[in-house]
Chains A and B, each alone.
Chain A
């Protein structure tokens, strides 16, 4: 589904990422972990299109996407969520999710202004998509609220519903469990498993080791910007390289 090949990024003399290669299979949950400064965020930003790689490539289904703008990557079918949920606070929850589905709205200004049948149908379709994804994440009872009125945890769910409504095939999640307590993290893990169940490929980065290990099908470990290990959660737990570099060295990892 997603192929990352010899990806490197340097900021001045600093190699934030060096020759990282891996592959994400369709409908799998892939987690990228590593200590602070390992290059997780840099990797994420390159795939999402907010950073350009120094060298190497990212391809989706054989199409090169690295170096494209974030909008072009979004259009290519890669959705993302943010570490701090980025909802449109002045819009309702429903409107936020409808924006996710906006690419299915093919109607222009004239048709919208005249209220033609095509525009009405397009709006109805968007509304229907948004309704379904809001039900999917369990927010169907607050859809009329302003997004800013919701607590942080629910704003994350709005963001997930919005990303799902784009109809993308890959979902990038930037530290989805950040700021959540144990119960909320457990619920989020369940939701991500259900997201994979829809056929979505999920690539997430997170510090939260227990969360990642219980959730991911495959884990990639980065250390100082380089590929350190890759495998199933069990393989990673038993990898001496990982234990030396990461798991053994920090208490709460």
Chain B
């Protein structure tokens, strides 16, 4: 029926002069490994140089907020779709791992992994219903899902503690050592976040990323090439949701408690805001956005009422002025400005 790979190569005749020993994917992989490795080295040097202090606690929140944002960035950057469900999956990861470790006594590292199984099943269910459709129903469908999760967390009191939330969630332990200090958490969480960044960068440069970038332009054409687009769209949505779920589980074991605020629509919008700050199609931007938002939360937006207004207006302004996101927008503006000065 079908031609094999070697037949295909043979049929085309001899290769062109452009033939290269290493493929572009190899070069991209090397670049990502170098940049992520360098970044990790810098982050590990930070406490060695500056010592311990409250700033490590802040940086831990940056690493945690970066995870759902990386997931969303992977989804929006590749498939061009936004989901409002990343707050809900963060909450599922947080409550899932909290319930498994607190009520059933499962060790936190294992409960973190088990919580992701729940995340994968739900994301697969949502994805396989919504992503078969070609249009942008994902945002609306995931908004409904986020509202359901928020309600369930508030109502399932016996499991989630309702509005009171859950207290006394055990910290992650490695072997016999429980990670409780900011420094210990920092040394575990930052490598996790950076490895997940590296993974996302690799995906984006891979064949999977190529198909997803093409999906945005023409699913029927991909079909004629024998590529089943929904499979890829569902896959990236699940992967993207795991990022949020892992972030949630690690969060729960870091702060030791969870409340319905963790899974609120407000938090889902905050994640979209972080994405808008760092740029909708830039994976590294997710880290910059998470750092900016954590600083804003820490020093400027402590008051909840203000925060809603500022985030809402801020998001609208960014979307209007810089449709690709604040950071890429500012970089472009600066580049134009310097070019004009130079010219």
Contacts and interface: CB of A to CB of B under 8 A. Distances in A.
A99 B226 contact: no
A109 B208 contact: yes
Contact of B214 (A99, A124, A136, A198): A99
Contacts of A104: 5, 8
Given A77-B3, A120-B26, A167-B3, A140 B16 contact: yes
Main secondary structure of the interface of B (DSSP, over half): helix
B236 to A, nearest CB: 8
Interface in A59-74: 61, 63, 69-71, 73-74
A88 B26 contact: no
Nearest to A141: B18
Interface in A4-63: 48, 50, 61, 63
B62 to A, nearest CB: 22
B217 A88 contact: yes
Nearest to A107: B207
A168 B226 CA distance: 10
Interface in B286-322: none
Interface string B10-52: 0111111111101111100100110000000000000000000
A113 interface: yes
A243 B311 CA distance: 73
5 contacts: A99-B214, A102-B211, A114-B199, A131-B15, A168-B2
* List of 4 A-B pairs having minimum Cβ-Cβ separation, nearest first: A135-B16, A132-B12, A167-B3, A112-B206
B227 interface: yes
Nearest to B11: A198
B3 A123 contact: no
Given A107-B207, A114-B202, 15 more contacts: A71-B222, A80-B224, A88-B217, A90-B216, A90-B217, A91-B214, A99-B211, A102-B211, A102-B226, A102-B227, A103-B225, A122-B207, A134-B18, A140-B17, A164-B12
Interface in B182-225: 199-200, 202-203, 206-211, 213-214, 216-218, 220-225
B3 A74 contact: no
B204 to A, nearest CB: 9
Contacts of A101: 8
A127 interface: yes
A202 interface: no
Interface of A: 48, 50, 61, 63, 69-71, 73-77, 79-80, 82, 86, 88-91, 94-95, 98-105, 107-109, 112-115, 119-120, 122-129, 131-136, 140-141, 143, 162-169, 198-200
Contacts of B25: 119-120, 123-124, 127
Contacts of A103: 2, 225-227
A167 B18 CA distance: 21
Main secondary structure of the interface of A (DSSP, over half): helix
Contacts of B12: 129, 132-133, 135-136, 164, 198
Contacts of B208: 108-109, 112
A127 B1 contact: no
A163 B32 CA distance: 32
Contact of B210 (A99, A107, A132): A99
Contacts of B23: 120, 123-124, 127
A102 B232 CA distance: 12
Nearest to A161: B12
Interface string B84-95: 000000000000
Contacts of A48: 224
A164 B4 CA distance: 13
Nearest to A115: B29
A86 B214 CA distance: 11
Nearest to B208: A112
Contacts of B18: 131, 134-135, 140-141, 143
Contacts of B22: 124
B239 interface: yes
B327 to A, nearest CB: 21
Contacts of A86: 218, 221
B136 interface: no
Nearest to B74: A113
A123 B19 contact: no
Contacts of B29: 115, 120
A196 B211 CA distance: 29
A56 B2 CA distance: 25
Contacts of A132: 9, 12-16
B38 to A, nearest CB: 17
Nearest to A94: B24
Contact of B220 (A50, A99, A120, A124): A50
B134 interface: no
Nearest to B24: A127
A102 B211 CA distance: 8
A104 B224 CA distance: 15
A196 to B, nearest CB: 12
Contact of B199 (A80, A94, A113, A169): A113
A130 B177 CA distance: 52
A99 B227 contact: yes
A189 B123 CA distance: 50
